[in-house]
Amino acid sequence: MHVKEARLHGGRELRLYHVPIWRESTLFSDRERACLEWTEVVTLPDGRIVPDDLSDSVRKHLSEKELTDLTFAIGVINFFNRINVSFPSVPGAMDEYPGLSKAGLK
């Protein structure tokens, strides 16, 4: 779903392939790296609060509103992922509804 959305919004294919290796990739800006690191920490909490150094680092790249919006988006996506674990669906079965079939990926 997210790959299809990215393609519809002009996302470059190679960057999509590099998301799993974002730490090693040279295709992401410092701002994007901060967002990706924040996403990992919020998505995979280890029982601790976000470290101050990460929070300070991310705030160098994002306004308070942007950080709030990003954190909310992460939470919503994580919630939908938990629903899909509970009630699995066939990938792509709902593509027509949000217009994802226009991405040309089957």
Q: What pLDDT does 6 receive? A: 86
pLDDT(85) > 70: yes
Region 31-60: mean pLDDT is 91
Percent of the chain past pLDDT 70, that is, above it, reads 89
Which among 16, 92, 49, 14 is positioned nearest to 101, based on CA atoms? Answer: 92
Q: How far apart are CA 80 and CA 64, in angstroms?
A: 24
- State the residue range of the domain holding 73: 2-103
Number of folded domains that form the chain = 1
Region 16-32: mean pLDDT is 95
Contact 28, 11 (CB under 8 A): no
Alpha helices (H) along 19-89: 30-43, 52-59, 64-86
pTM assigned to the model: 0.80
CATH at 18: 1.20.1290.10
Confidence band for 105, pLDDT divided at 50, 70 and 90: low
Half-sphere exposure of 74 (CA within 13 A, CB side): 17
